[in-house]
Amino acid sequence: MSPEPPDLPVSFGRTPAQEARGALILAVLGGAVAWMIGASLARPTSPVGSLLQSWGLPPASLPAFAVLLALVLAMVAYATTNANRRFYRFTADGLEVTESLGTYVLGWDNMKQTGEAVGGGLGVRVHDRGRVLESHLGTPQQREWLRTMEPYGEWDFLYPKEDLGIPVAEVLRRLQGWRAYYERDDVRNADE
């Protein structure tokens, strides 16, 4: 009989919906600020307003253009953050991380310490960074970036709270649960 896995989600990270909500907030707030600045600059008595009138453009054209620019920037921000989004998954080998540096595994037996870092992110210290490189999937350039990445203070790897999608305390609870499960003798022997 195969042992039952813990009743904990196997993956986490910011979702596309969270990224979209951030882009929407950026678009609304950025658009409002852009409209106010554009409207102020385009007053008929201002030099910019006079220039717009001499070109035959209505005063609202500048604030409208500013709002359009804010919307385009919000869409670019969404596309960029969604493409570079970190994704985390607990596996039999350890915590699998997919990010702009490729995909790699922080092995259960290679994790020396995990905890909440200054600023609320997830900090991970490993015994051997070379073992992380052995698990790397990605381009040679990504592998080189991962190899030459400097530690973050006391942590070899630091994942900002904004990228986790859930509070770091919940990440640590899930990590502890999955680690305990995968390190059980009956689970390890079931895979053989």
Mean pLDDT on 178-186: 86
142: which 2 tokens?
């990504």
Higher pLDDT, 13 or 108: 108
Q: Which residue has 């220039």 as its token pair?
A: 51
Render the burial of 53-73: b for 16+ CB within 10 Å, e for the rest: eeeeeebeebbbebbeebbeb
The overall average pLDDT reported for the chain is 86
Rg of the chain's alpha carbons, rounded to an integer? 24
Q: What tens digit of pLDDT does each residue of 138-167 get?
A: 999 999 999 999 999 999 999 999 889 899
Residue 1, pLDDT score: 46
Higher pLDDT, 81 or 123: 123
Mean pLDDT on 168-180: 94
Q: Percent of the chain, pLDDT > 70? A: 93
